Amino acid sequence: MDLSTAARDVQIRAYAPYSNFRVGAALRTDKGKVFQGVNVENVAYPEGTCAEAGAIAAMIAGGDTRIVEVYVIADSSTPVPPCGGCRQKLAEFADGDVRVTMASKEGVELVMTVAELLPGAFGTSHLEGC
Ligand code: THU
């Protein structure tokens, strides 16, 4: 399945009544499966979750753990990069060279790798000796 289509298809189901900023995310795993997620907001604002986090949760629930490609689309005139927390979440399950395509609502795309989005990432090597 085309990740762009998967992200667009799911974006319309985003639950974003407070920001009105709908985000759709789709990722492909090393097993070839595609998982989707949307942002889910909450009246207690900090309780909301991002689209990328939703897609990762769906992937884990679906039994896969390694991401090989990511696509994110948002209600924005410019491509919206993942927030800091989502960069860290993606880095947990994706190698640094995995491509993250960010798309605007008009379809303008920006591609960056996970390592470009999160240089010097905190990782398992930092836990050595603990
Ligand atoms: N949002 C995402 O879903 N992904 C991001 O990486 C950036 C922000 C959502 C969170 C919130 O529901 C809305 O966009 C506005 O910040």
Q: What is the pLDDT of residues 17-50, one digit of tens each?
A: 999 999 999 999 999 999 999 999 999 999 999 9
The domain total for the chain is: 1
CA-23 nearest atom, ligand 1: 3
Tokens of 75: 């209600």
Residue 45 in domain: yes
Verify whether residue 52 is a known catalytic residue. yes
CA 33 vs CA 49, 55, 59, 62, 64: distances in Å = 22, 12, 9, 9, 8
Task: Quote the pLDDT of residue 106.
Answer: 92
Residue 84 in domain: yes
CA of 129 to the centre of ligand 1 (A): 35
Residue 130 in domain: no
pTM: 0.96
- Residue 27, exposed/middle/buried by CB under 10 A (0-12, 13-18, 19+)? buried
Residue 126 in domain: no
DSSP structure class, residue 6 = H
Q: How far apart are CA 65 and CA 105, in angstroms?
A: 29
Residue 65 in domain: yes
Residue 85 in domain: yes
CA-51 nearest atom, ligand 1: 3
Domain range for residue 98?
3-120
Write the CATH number for 29: 3.40.140.10
67-119 pLDDT, tens digit per residue, is 999 999 999 999 999 999 999 999 999 999 999 999 999 989 999 999 999 99
> Quick one: pLDDT band at residue 129, thresholds 50, 70, 90?
confident
Residues with CB under 6 A from ligand 1: 16, 19, 21, 23, 39, 41, 48, 50-52, 82-83, 86
* pLDDT at residue 1 is higher than 90: no
CA of 130 to the centre of ligand 1 (A): 33
